């Protein structure tokens, strides 16, 4: 699991009709209403999820609810009994993996503060250990060192809250050794296949990115490449002789492509794969066979390019064994002959399977959410439309069951911009979307300018456009729905989380007659207070944020213009706000001040704050409360027809 870097990832967190692979029933003009499914079925914890296989292939692990929190279990293959390794009752385990055959490593935060602590436990439940028991410190997994089973590399901001130093951790003893001191500008570290620290990515002058390299850990660092943050090389892993680097690059091109890079010269030496329409997001390799296997990119679905015939054959075989579903590899054993595979679709969270590559056989382990009936779910239809200034915007439209693009007329609509904003919506099962569709709403998702995967030009078109052209893209999509006759212009709501919450507020400000109601979930309301309360480990990237969002001083007039809290006098529609009190990304004050300003104006507003949550509600009971309140709020203002 070599970690690739994304120097500035999703900060806040996340027309022409195109053909889709809808089933024949969707072409029937007779409307058959879906039966109403209990809210809890969409938002309760999965029965079992996050399956992984042990390095020797003898065990598999998974997460399952224990007292309504997701915990880790281990089961020997061929046996029916499992061992529960964790008994967390306050907060879900955030994630875990197998470093070796005898131990599980996992991460957990407290109340959504995102200060993740690292823990370990033997697979028989013995020897639980807390590796990073430091208050206010966030742990990162930098490299799991798959070739060194009793060691891993972690990052800690213990010495300086703004930056992460790499430590080599002994999993047996808990001893840690700091192997480099972050001078204050390193945002990523990379290790070769022998576990040696050879590469670092630094921020220079606030907005430039530098790649630093050394032949051995005893050598001095040399800066081999410096680029503006808008372009660069993102390393994924060393070649198998540890001499060159495979990664993705958008240097001198609009779309990120897979390249081979020479760290001694700082030059790209070979283009391995590019896609003309989309950024390549990741590249994969076989640790056992030491070959590059595939690259991934996302159009309206996830797509793969294969470098390796054996890997392509395996995926072709899986496609025949698991017809009708998309699928992905969750994990494999060291011998790469036993895999955990998960299926999914737009109407199903799918199932987990054990795939025996030698026998070319799959065995279903579990259906993730057996209470979800795919036949009652809706198709997620890919669409495109043009923005007012001529950009092609991709999106998805999910219609209530029984409707299609021919018979969908005058429907109540929930416009649902994504968070990030430098992220994107993708095809697949979304419980929010399916829940709203089941309640009779059409749900509209759009990848407005700045959404990732569409190239550098489309991304840069979002710079300093919060609340401006980015918001216009959302408005233009909403108007496209009205012009198509799909949306009832009097029954349109806007709802989003994080940046989507901000877009909700700005939508109500800029288009007071367009939206009948809005739901803001952990959204930004004040650009000044937002950027002054970001987590400390974002501060080294603040100059980039100033260039992408706006400078607090030089662009103060513009930032005030796009801060919803200063324009509540323009809002006419009712608003529902939900917030986690411990949110480290969007401080609770963002919601507090918006609610106070709305109340002062006498605008109808509902406010939900959860004291045990952060950036989004993770605890099951809080999810139920939020969606139950949102359902009632939307129904009262959009009045869905039975």
Whether residue 60 contacts residue 53, with contact meaning beta carbons closer than 8 Å, is answered with yes
Q: What was the pLDDT predicted at 6?
A: 34
Beta bridge partners of 238: 245
The tens digit of pLDDT for each residue in 394-438 reads 999 999 999 999 999 999 999 999 999 999 999 999 999 999 999
How many Å apart are CA 99 and CA 101, to the nearest integer? 7
Which pLDDT score, from 0 to 100, does residue 19 have?
32
pLDDT on residue 639:
79
- Contact assessment for residue 292 and residue 246, using Cβ atoms and an 8 Å cutoff: yes
66-104: pLDDT as tens digits: 999 999 999 999 999 999 999 999 999 999 999 999 999
| Other residues' Cβ atoms within 10 Å of the Cβ of residue 633 | 20
Query: Which domains are present in the chain?
Result: 378-638 (3.40.50.1820)
Tell me: pLDDT of 628 over 80.
Answer: yes
The arithmetic mean of pLDDT across residues 349-354, rounded, is 96
β-bridge mates for residue 356, sequence order: 338, 361
Whether 162 shows a pLDDT value over 90: the answer reads yes
pLDDT (average), residues 204-228: 94
% of the chain residues with pLDDT over 90: 91
Closest CA to 399 of 433, 427, 426: 433
Give the pLDDT score at 584: 94
Q: For residue range 15-67, what is the model confidence (pLDDT) as tens digits?
A: 332 333 333 333 333 445 678 999 999 999 999 999 999 999 999 999 999 99
d(CA 430, CA 367): 16
- 592-596 mean pLDDT: 97
Mean pLDDT value of segment 104-112: 96
Report the SS3 class of residue 604: coil
pLDDT band at 602 (very low <50, low <70, confident <90, very high): confident
> Roughly what angle, to the nearest 10 degrees, separates helices 431-438 and 620-638?
40
What pLDDT digit, counting tens, does each position of 430-470 carry?
999 999 999 999 999 999 999 999 999 999 999 999 999 99
Torsion from C-alpha of 177, 181, 182, 188, nearest 10 degrees: -40
Residues 58, 73 contacting (CB under 8 angstroms): no
Q: Which segments within 253-390 are labelled E, that is strand?
A: 257-262, 267-273, 280-286, 291-298, 302-306, 326-332, 338-344, 351-356, 361-367, 380-386
Between CA 306 and CA 311 the distance in angstroms is 7
Judging by beta carbons within 10 Å of its beta carbon (0-12, 13-18, 19+), is residue 96 exposed, middle or buried?
A: buried
Average of per-residue pLDDT across 586-594: 97
- How many whole angstroms separate alpha carbon 132 and alpha carbon 135? 9
Token readout for 189 is: 């570290």
Helix (H, G, I), strand (E, B) or coil at 328: strand
**Six-digit token string for 267:** 């030059």
- The kind and range of the H/E element at 502 are helix 499-510
In sequence order, which residues have a C-beta less than 8 Å from that of residue 392 and are 6 or more positions away? 384, 385, 386
Structure tokens at 449: 């300018």
Cα 602 to Cα 588: distance, rounded to the nearest angstrom: 21
- Find all residues with CB under 8 Å of 366, minimum gap 6, and list them: 47, 48, 51, 62, 351, 352
Here the tokens at position 369 are 């959410």
With contact defined as beta carbons under 8 Å apart, do 15 and 211 qualify?
no
Q: What pLDDT does 179 receive?
A: 94
pTM above 0.85, yes or no: yes
Asked whether residue 12 carries a pLDDT value surpassing 80, the answer given is: no
Q: Which helix (H) or strand (E) holds 596?
A: helix 588-601
Give the orientation angle of helix 469-483 with respect to helix 499-510, to 10 degrees. Answer: 70
The mean pLDDT value of the chain amounts to: 93
CA 350 to CA 362: how far, in whole Å? 14
Rg, Å, the chain Cα set: 24
Over the stretch 247-306, which tens digit does the pLDDT of each residue have? 999 999 999 999 999 999 999 999 999 999 999 999 999 999 999 999 999 999 999 999
Tokens 């608003």 belong to which residue? 575
């Amino acid at each position: 699991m070599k970690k690739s870097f994304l120097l500035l990832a999703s900060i806040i967190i996340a027309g022409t009709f195109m053909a889709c692979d809808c089933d024949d029933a969707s072409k029937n003009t007779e409307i058959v209403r879906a039966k109403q499914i209990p809210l809890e079925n969409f938002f309760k914890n999965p029965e079992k999820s996050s399956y992984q296989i042990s390095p020797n292939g003898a065990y598999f692990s998974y997460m399952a609810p224990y007292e309504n929190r997701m915990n880790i279990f281990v089961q020997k293959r061929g046996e029916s009994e499992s061992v529960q390794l964790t008994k967390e009752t306050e907060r879900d385990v955030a994630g875990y993996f197998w470093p070796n055959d005898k131990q599980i490593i996992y991460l957990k935060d407290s109340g959504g503060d995102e200060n993740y602590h690292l823990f370990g436990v033997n697979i028989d439940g013995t020897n639980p250990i807390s590796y990073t028991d430091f208050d206010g410190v966030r742990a990162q997994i930098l490299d799991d060192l798959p070739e060194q089973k009793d060691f891993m590399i972690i990052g800690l901001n213990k010495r300086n809250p703004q930056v992460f130093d790499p430590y080599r951790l002994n999993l047996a003893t808990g001893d840690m050794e700091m192997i480099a001191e972050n001078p204050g500008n390193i945002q990523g570290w990379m290790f070769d296949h022998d576990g040696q620290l050879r590469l670092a990515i630094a921020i220079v002058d606030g907005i430039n990115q530098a790649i630093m390299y050394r032949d051995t850990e005893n050598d001095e660092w040399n800066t081999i490449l410096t680029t503006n943050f808008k372009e660069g090389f993102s390393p994924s892993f060393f070649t198998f002789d540890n001499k060159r680097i495979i990664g993705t690059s958008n240097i001198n091109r609009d779309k990120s492509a897979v390249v081979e890079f020479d760290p001694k010269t700082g030059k790209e030496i070979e283009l391995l794969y590019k896609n003309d329409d989309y950024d390549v997001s990741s590249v994969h390799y076989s640790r056992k066979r030491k070959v590059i296997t595939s690259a991934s990119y996302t159009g309206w679905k996830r797509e793969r390019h294969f470098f390796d015939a054996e890997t392509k054959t395996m995926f072709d075989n899986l496609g025949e064994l698991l017809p009708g579903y998309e699928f992905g590899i969750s994990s494999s054993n060291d011998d790469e002959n036993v895999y955990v595979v998960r299926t999914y679709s737009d109407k199903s969270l799918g199932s987990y399977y054990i795939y025996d590559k030698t026998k070319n056989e799959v065995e279903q382990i579990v259906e993730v959410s057996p209470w979800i009936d795919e036949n009652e779910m809706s198709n997620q239809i890919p669409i495109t439309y043009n923005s007012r200034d001529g950009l092609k915007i991709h999106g998805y439209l999910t219609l209530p069951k029984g409707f299609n693009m021919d018979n969908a007329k005058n429907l109540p609509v929930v416009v649902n911009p994504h968070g990030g904003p430098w992220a994107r919506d993708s095809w697949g099962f979304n419980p929010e979307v399916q829940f709203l569709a089941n309640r009779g709403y059409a749900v509209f998702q759009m990848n407005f300018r700045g959404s990732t995967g569409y190239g550098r030009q489309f991304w840069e078109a979002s710079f300093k456009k919060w609340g401006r052209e980015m918001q216009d893209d959302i408005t233009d999509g909403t108007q496209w729905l009205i012009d198509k006759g799909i949306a009832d212009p009097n029954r349109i709501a806007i709802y989003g989380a994080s940046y989507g919450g901000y877009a909700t507020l700005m939508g109500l400000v800029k288009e007071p007659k367009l939206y009948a109601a809005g739901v803001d979930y952990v959204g930004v309301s004040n650009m000044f207070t937002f950027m002054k309360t970001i987590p400390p480990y974002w501060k080294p990237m603040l100059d980039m944020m100033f260039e992408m969002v706006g400078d607090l001083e030089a662009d103060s007039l513009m930032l005030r213009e796009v801060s919803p809290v200063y324009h509540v006098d323009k809002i006419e529609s009712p608003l529902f706000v939900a917030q986690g009190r411990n949110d480290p990304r969007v401080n609770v004050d963002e919601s507090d001040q918006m609610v106070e300003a709305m109340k002062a104006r006498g605008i109808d507003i509902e406010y939900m704050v959860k004291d045990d949550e952060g950036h989004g509600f993770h605890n099951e009971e809080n999810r139920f409360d939020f969606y139950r309140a949102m359902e009632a709020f939307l129904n009262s203002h959009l009045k869905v027809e039975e």
